[in-house]
Structure 1
Amino acid sequence: MLLRRRNQYNNHRGFTLLELLAVLSIASLLLAISIPLSNHLQMKHEEKLFLKQFQADILFIQQQTMTTGIRHSLTFVNDHTYKLYTYQQGQEIIGEVVLPSHMTVQTLTSSSTIQFNEKGTVLRPGTLYFHSPNTTYKAVFTIGKGRCYVTKL
């Protein structure tokens, strides 16, 4: 009888192989679901940060042109990079921004160079498109306005 109680006590102290496999499979399933979600959220966050940076750079070149009277521009060098220029003593690069790796820019109705006059009006109005795998954003430079409007399509 004493021997039998010890065996029952030993059986309830640990986990069976089946219980261990069930817990491990549930944990791996949760991990497999959460990793793609975090990648998607990271891409969305990078897009949001880039669009804020783009709008801040547009406002910067507009304000610099208006306050100093010296021409500044934002030029898309390729589908993944744009540079900020000043033309004080020739053409000088004052900044360079690389788009997130999953985004590209398309300049259909707008020039690849964005400039403002001394009054803050855009010189070549038009539309830019920023494409990512799941979303397209449209940046509109309107005639007679000094602002850029970015909308999600």
Structure 2
Amino acid sequence: MESRRNGFTLTETLIVLSVFMAMSSVSLFLVKPTYHLLEKNIFFSQFKSDLLFAQQYAISHQEEVSIHILPQSNTYYIRTRLNGPILVERQYSKGIRIMEGSLPLFFQYTVSGNIKKFGSLYVEINKQFYRFTILIGSGRFYVVKE
């Protein structure tokens, strides 16, 4: 009778499976820091874009535009005037905390695109703090890691 060997032994299968599991677990450790970095970059990119939109809208429509940040619901929105229609409403990740600094969580752009109040907000993402500063006058802003 002829003996045929079709397939793999249990030992070979277990070795391949253990190598696969080791590679999978290493990739999980590499993905988590990337996720936090991506979350931070996406948030600041979107927030900056929305502030630039608010400034441009104020200039082009000759209307005051207000920005309201609601940290308890992880939301911010942009509207015309104090209680006008909402132009933009955004939800941000629960892992992000925005706190008042010298700038309150409500501020406005004037019809000339200048900011009425200037100062800093503090943003905490993954236990790292960032200072988001809006400059006097033209409403330019920047982010610095604390």
Verify same fold: TM over 0.5: yes
Is there any run of 5+ residues in structure 2 with no aligned partner, and where? none
Give the % identical residues: 27
What corresponds to 1:68 in structure 2? 61
Q: Are positions 1:131 and 2:131 aligned together?
A: no
1:27 to 10, 20, 23: 20
C-alpha RMSD over aligned residues: 2.2
What corresponds to 1:95 in structure 2? 88
C-alpha distance in 1 between matches for 2:30 and 2:107: 36
C-alpha distance in 2 between matches for 1:26 and 1:42: 25
1:84 to 61, 64, 78: 78
> Residues 110-150 of structure 1, C-alpha deviation per residue, up to 9 Å, x if partnerless?
11112122332211111112211153322101223421112
> Residues 37-66 of structure 1, C-alpha deviation per residue, up to 9 Å, x if partnerless?
324323322321221111111111111112
Q: Which structure would you say has the larger Rg?
A: 1
The answer (yes or no) to whether the contact 1:126–1:142 under 8 Å persists in 2 is yes
5 Å matches for 1:101-120? Answer: 101-120=94-113
TM-score when scaled to structure 1?
0.81
C-alpha distance in 1 between matches for 2:31 and 2:127: 15
In structure 1, what residue type is equivalent to 2:79?
Answer: Y
TM-score when scaled to structure 2?
0.84
What corresponds to 1:54 in structure 2? 47
Aligned length: 145
SS at match of 2:99: strand
C-alpha distance in 2 between matches for 1:151 and 1:51: 11
C-alpha distance in 2 between matches for 1:106 and 1:87: 23
